[in-house]
Amino acid sequence: MKDIDEFRQSTRHWLEDNCPASMRVKPTQKDNVYGGRKWTWDNPDAQIWLERMADKGWTTPEWPTQYGGGGLNALQAKVLTKEMARLGCRKPVIGHGVMMLGPALLEYGSEAQKLEHLPKIVRGEIRWCQGYSEPGAGSDLASLRCKAEDKGDHYLLNGQKSWTTDADKADWMFCLVRTRTEGKQQEGISFLLFDMETPGISARPVPLITGVSHFCDTFLENVKVPKSQLVGELNDGWTIAKALLVHERKQMADLESSMPTPKHSVDEYARHYLALDENGKVKDRAMRDRLIEHMMTKQAVELNEKRAFDEGMAGVFDMRTMNIFKYVGTEAQKEKADLIIDMLGLTGLAWDEENNESDLHRATMEWMTSLAYTVAGGSSEIQMNLIAKRSLGLPDR
């Protein structure tokens, strides 16, 4: 363990020397860095932090160094994460490229595709969006109809994608398309990459209850995509899609690390907003039980994630547990948001457009968005079916 202790010390010193002070404060939604051609830097420190971390390869610490990554092993990457958390360092860049597409390209992409796209993701030079869901093809994703016709040296795309996160701000899309209609649905899907500035693409933001528009309806009309941008084999995109969903569900299970959550913990809200008895305990028994249950669930999730990590280090990690973590993680996040709003009472109705980064506003925002995360990346109901069938081996009926 001497080597890992030395790595921890050197990492700690490097972070202390290189992470700007303003990057050691939990980000609000507008502070998160997604990068890309359209990105503008409101805080110069955020750009400095990204550049320094990218130079080390630590925006994607476990990716191979030949693609710009840090080349760290899992234990070293965990140490880096812990040291960043200890100092309060923000993630220098987030988004679909880092969390989803990159890992899929490492496994299924050609060498040319890896060299073209991965270094740009590492340095925050390209922002990706995900073209999966369609009208009528959400949880039943395999029924998608967006069509890609073979035109010799390119594919011609026509169709619509729904709930495309930040499609209006993204540079490129990774997309599932129908390339064969005969046979089993899953065996006629392919995985394509394309530039969002390609003629024939339009993205229309969808207004949400929170007043922001993270999601878009994306329309593809006679969009030409070179065949070199096919990832993996033709009609084998479902294999890549399933692998990528594992990474998405891992991201969804760890929402709290990047969400603009309120600055106080749940128990701090309880002490501040709920009546306490002479011993400092919450008087309302039902609310006290809910608070205890939430805190126990949070602790149980953290312990199981540690167990899964240790199993991975031992070479026996089962990827099916990502369905469990996604379900439990997003449901716990929703319960936390519900609990805080209930503790705030009428104060939980706060909605201040002029001071929308106030703590109460952010608590309301989290509550309004928490339900969406139990749907995104595969709804809780779908996750329960997958857990029952694939993890527990229960019968369909």
Same domain, 284 and 359: yes
CATH number, domain at 80? 1.10.540
Is residue 396 domain-resident? no
Confidence of residue 258 (pLDDT cuts 50, 70, 90): very low
Pairing verdict, β 128-131 and 172-178:
parallel
Smallest CA-to-CA distance from 187 within 229, 155, 150, 142 is with 142
Same domain, 268 and 322: yes
Residues 383-394 have a mean pLDDT of: 80
The CA distance from 355 to 348, in Å, is 15
Selected residue with higher pLDDT from 50 and 322:
50
The CA distance from 378 to 368, in Å, is 19
Is residue 248 domain-resident? no
Is the sign of the CA dihedral 278, 282, 285, 291 positive or negative? negative
**pLDDT score of 391 more than 80:** no
CATH number, domain at 331? 1.20.140.10
Is residue 90 domain-resident? yes
3-state secondary structure of 248: helix
Print the domain residue range for 11: 2-94
Confidence of residue 253 (pLDDT cuts 50, 70, 90): very low
CATH number, domain at 225? 2.40.110.10
Q: Which residue among 174, 207, 237 closes a domain?
A: 237
Is residue 121 domain-resident? no
Q: pLDDT digits over 73-129, tens only? A: 989 999 999 999 999 999 999 999 999 999 999 999 999 999 999 999 999 999 999
Give 316's DSSP letter: -
Q: Which residue among 183, 208, 237 closes a domain?
A: 237
Same domain, 220 and 258: no
Q: pLDDT digits over 130-165, tens only? A: 999 999 887 788 899 999 999 999 999 999 999 899
Domains: count for the chain: 3
DSSP H/E element including 159:
strand 154-165
The CA distance from 346 to 179, in Å, is 53
Distance separating the N- and C-terminal Cα atoms of the chain = 50
- The whole-number pLDDT of residue 6 equals 95
Q: What's the token pair of residue 160?
A: 């619509």
The number of helix segments (H) and strand segments (E) in the chain equals: 12, 8
Same domain, 223 and 177: yes
Could you tell me what percent of the chain has a pLDDT over 70? Answer: 89
Same domain, 332 and 271: yes
